[in-house]
Amino acid sequence: MKLSAVILAAGRGKRMKSRTPKILHEALGRPMLRYVIDAVSTLKPAKTVVVIGNGADEVRGRISDGHLTFVLQKELLGTGDAVAIARKELLKGTVLVLNGDCPLITAATLKSLLARHKRSRNVLSFLSFVDESMSGYGRIIRDSSGRVTDIVEDKHASALQKNMFKELNGGVYVIESEALAYLDKIKKNNSSGEYYLTDIIGIISGAGKRLDAYLCPSEEIRGVNSREELYEISVILQKRVISGWMQKGVTFIGPETTHVHVSARIGRDTVIYPNTYIEGSTSIGNNCTIYPGSRICDSVLGNGVIIKDNTLIEKSRIHDGSSIGPCAHLRPESVIGRNAKIGNFVEVKKSNIGAGTKAGHLTYLGDAEIGPGVNIGAGTITCNYDGKNKFRTIIKSGVFIGSDTQLVAPVRINKDAYVAAGSTITRDVPSGSLAISRGRQRNLEDWTKRREGDMSKEPGVKGKRKKAVDK
Ligand code: UD1
Ligand code: MG
């Protein structure tokens, strides 16, 4: 018998108060719907149908992966209507139906629900949980013999029902495909105008068919209907992700304030300090140290890399043994060679920095190709932009750039050349030479004394002028 899956993702998500469809809201950098799809796909269903409606194009655009079938629910008439629309796409066999707003569900729980469903020869099985702190869920009604007879939505439940029935509906169901015919018997709810999928429980139970609810940890079943709930599930997911990395040998000094996206990778014996964000497809090697306040997005760090406090790294690659920061910014397409040093308040953009090269302080390196063993003095700036176009600066190996230098691109500093501090370099510098371009220094002797004595005799104003001495 084949397994098909239906994921309900058409709803408005009114309680999120957002223009973005609810199930595209992200937890740890991934839309919540993606978590549900990933958990389902580990069961290898023959077909996975996603019911979309609100923001359908946006959802399809973000979620399509070639394995999903999308069906459109034009009018949002409730979860029962959503499954009825998906029905034409489903295969004969067993059908797994899940709400798209429960990102904490695990493949293990889905597998065990399927196994119990098969073992009990049920027509319908679903997940339940007990957690007095959670509200807004359907309540499972059981008769005196413990048999499930109905689900009553929280907003329609009487005080007596709320008091008597503490088992709640998790919104994850396994149904034999023949029983989907009972969907036609669901009536529109008078007060909400919706067809509730949950009404199928009362209908199947009333028809004397086998069905049951199985308890699972409430943590897994939490639906996200509001921003508070999105935060709560993000905290749980973050704990799962961070403990996963701890088990693989990563140290976290302050895990409560550390954010690691699910897609990020971290190597053994790396130490992560508090208030750091490790985002997107970032991969961090072994023995790295990430000091507090840094954000690393979609970047690759080799082994033994040190990221000092308050550093931002975007779409860059840092090779083994390099040190970046404090307060540095690597903008996209920066590649830092082995054992290089990018220091305090240094910004690098779309540049290659050679092995062992150092740019320690207050520097901007943009559109630059810098060889190995180069020393970039404090305050160096590559002037890469003339207001219209960007140009490249090339610095070959062994070059020494003195402090407070402007390199007006396009320009090339050849191997082992020196540039004197305070120079503005507009022409290429030949290999092994010293380039110096700055006004000669003049020392005006006794200038202070003369200025204090008689301002009118100040050189260049009036009176006797004392010869300037060049040094
Ligand atoms: C639903 C269940 C409730 C259960 C809870 C578990 C119903 C009537 N109630 O309530 O018993 O405890 O989930 O989380 O099913 N959707 C559509 N089309 C629609 C309406 C909703 O696709 O017309 C989708 C939504 O996008 C969402 C899912 O169905 O992913 C559930 O809808 P939601 O409005 O969140 O239902 P709950 O009120 O949470
Ligand atoms: Mg919900």
What average pLDDT does the chain have? 95
Closest to 52 (Cα-Cα) out of 79, 70, 31: 70
Q: What is the pLDDT of residues 106-147, one digit of tens each?
A: 999 999 999 999 999 999 999 999 999 988 999 999 999 999
pLDDT band for 471, please (50, 70, 90 cuts).
Answer: very low
What ligand is nearest to the CA atom of residue 168? 1
pLDDT band for 243, please (50, 70, 90 cuts).
Answer: very high
Q: What is the pLDDT of residues 174-186, one digit of tens each?
A: 999 999 999 999 9
Residue 391, pLDDT score: 98
Q: What is the pLDDT of residues 318-348, one digit of tens each?
A: 999 999 999 999 999 999 999 999 999 999 9
DSSP label at 443?
E
Annotated catalytic residues are 361
Q: Separation of 249 CA from ligand 2 center, angstroms? A: 36
Every domain of the chain and the residues it spans = 2-221, 227-435
Tell whether the model's pLDDT for residue 460 goes beyond 60: no
Please state, for a pLDDT cut of 70, what percent of the chain lies above it: 96
Tell whether the model's pLDDT for residue 452 goes beyond 60: yes
Residue 454, pLDDT score: 64
Distance between CA atoms of residues 18 and 230, nearest Å: 13
List C-alpha distances in Å: 206 to 93, 138, 147, 209, 211.
22, 18, 11, 8, 11
Residues 202-229: what's their mean pLDDT? 95
User: What homologous superfamily does CATH list for 227-435?
Assistant: Hexapeptide repeat proteins (2.160.10.10)
Q: Separation of 272 CA from ligand 1 center, angstroms? A: 39
Q: Separation of 91 CA from ligand 1 center, angstroms? A: 23
What ligand is nearest to the CA atom of residue 32? 1
pLDDT band for 463, please (50, 70, 90 cuts).
Answer: very low
Please state, for a pLDDT cut of 90, what percent of the chain lies above it: 94
Q: Which numbered atom of ligand 1 lies nearest the CA of 21?
A: 26
Distance between CA atoms of residues 139 and 128, nearest Å: 9
Q: What is the pLDDT of residues 43-99, one digit of tens each?
A: 999 999 999 999 999 999 999 998 999 999 999 999 999 999 999 999 999 999 999
pLDDT band for 351, please (50, 70, 90 cuts).
Answer: very high
Q: Separation of 85 CA from ligand 1 center, angstroms? A: 15
Q: Which numbered atom of ligand 1 lies nearest the CA of 223?
A: 14
Closest to 272 (Cα-Cα) out of 248, 255, 247, 286: 255
The topology (CATH level 3) of 2-221 is: Spore Coat Polysaccharide Biosynthesis Protein SpsA; Chain A (3.90.550)
Among 12, 25, 79, which is best to mutate for testing ligand 1, by the most ligand atoms less than 8 A from CB?
Answer: 79
Residues with CB under 6 A from ligand 1: 8-11, 23, 51, 53, 73, 76-79, 81-82, 99-102, 137-138, 151, 153, 168-171, 196-198, 223, 225
**Residue closest by Cα to atom 1 of ligand 1:** 171
Q: Which numbered atom of ligand 1 lies nearest the CA of 52?
A: 22
Comparing 138-142, 258-262, 460-464, which segment has the lowest mean pLDDT? 460-464
Q: Which residues surround ligand 2, an ion (CB under 5 A)?
A: 101, 223, 225
Tell whether the model's pLDDT for residue 449 goes beyond 50: yes
Q: Separation of 53 CA from ligand 1 center, angstroms? A: 13
Sign of CA dihedral 106, 111, 117, 120: negative
Residue 456, pLDDT score: 57
- CB neighbour class for 14 (10 Å; exposed up to 12, middle 13-18, buried from 19): exposed
Residues 393-422: what's their mean pLDDT? 98
**Residue closest by Cα to atom 11 of ligand 1:** 138
Predicted model pTM:
0.88
Structure tokens at 37: 């799809």
Among 99, 102, 129, 167, which is best to mutate for testing ligand 1, by the most ligand atoms less than 8 A from CB?
Answer: 99
Q: Which numbered atom of ligand 1 lies nearest the CA of 170?
A: 6
Residue 453, pLDDT score: 80
DSSP label at 53?
B
Omega prior to 410 cis, within 30 of 0: yes
What ligand is nearest to the CA atom of residue 138? 1
Q: Separation of 80 CA from ligand 2 center, angstroms? A: 14
